[in-house]
Amino acid sequence: MKTLADRIIAFNKQLEFKGKLPEGIRIMNPFKEEPHAPAISEEFYKKYYNDNKPRHLILGINPGRFGAAVTGVPFTDTKRLRSECHIAYTGKETHEPSSVFIYDMIHAFGGVEKFYGSFYIHSICPLGFTKATGPGKEVNYNYYDSKELTAAVYDFIIDNIKKQIALGMETDTCFCFGTGKNEAFLRKLNEEETFFGNIIALEHPRFIMQYKAKTKEQYIDKYVKAFNSVI
């Protein structure tokens, strides 16, 4: 019998955007571009999701260059992959502030086994984007950063939220990382598609680490309280 891990791994393997992107925007697909990501992510999901217990879905924005775009695991950079998940990695080391916050929060929640036993993190758009800023230079770009990009990936987003729910996710409550544009987009989408009964939005980890680092513990407490409300 296939487990949730098997279904997540298959979902990641089938991820492919075939539409046309605005000029200067590149899509990141770690499962086709990063040599280590398929094996790393498979080990991760086999370790924490090798059962058929439903999880609550947490949706971020889209993968960033130094986290999921390298490891294939949302909000998990290579440092946390090794130190917190104890999964070997021999490639280029990456550091993502969002990953630091998430794993500090996971510790406060009760540890990786407890957290991943109840929650599954991915993104509204499961593949990330970069924007060219000069010869050989690029920066992270979000699906909502231009109307043209949002329109280009709109159907892709809807299709993949449906696929992720079908993996074995609870639909009474969905968590959203981001209380600005990401939340607004997801709420509007939910009104149209009725994916979830309720959406709980939390400040994005990147925002917290960049602008609210001095009060990080307050946000960790807020996250833990929100997650405990559904288990």
| Per-residue pLDDT tens digits for 51-107 | 999 999 999 999 987 778 889 999 999 999 999 999 998 888 889 999 999 999 999
Question: 192: domain range?
Answer: 4-228
pLDDT at 68: 83
Q: Is the pLDDT of residue 122 over 80?
A: yes
Alpha carbon distances (Å) from 201 to 1, 64, 198, 204, 214: 34, 19, 10, 9, 21
Greatest C-alpha distance within the chain: 49
166 has pLDDT over 80: yes
The CA-atom distances, in angstroms, between 55 and each of 8, 114, 151, 167 are 12, 11, 29, 9
Can you give the pLDDT at residue 46? Answer: 98
Sign (positive/negative) of CA torsion 202, 204, 209, 210? negative
Q: Assign residue 31 the CATH number of its domain.
A: 3.40.470.10
Provide the pLDDT confidence category of residue 4 given band limits of 50, 70 and 90.
very high
For residue 136, what pLDDT is reported?
79
Average pLDDT estimate for 153-173? 98
Rounded mean pLDDT, 157-176: 98
For position 138, what pLDDT does the model report?
87
Domain count, the chain: 1
Mention every residue, 6+ apart, whose C-beta is less than 8 A from residue 167: 4, 7, 8, 11, 120
**What average pLDDT does the segment 41-47 reach?**
98
Mean pLDDT of the region 164-175: 98
Mean pLDDT, the chain, rounded, equals: 95
pLDDT value of residue 123: 96
pLDDT of 213-231, one tens digit each? 999 999 999 999 999 999 9
H or E stretch including 169?
Answer: strand 169-177
Instruction: Kindly tell me the burial class for residue 171, based on how many C-beta atoms sit within 10 Å of its own C-beta (0-12, 13-18, 19 or more).
Output: middle
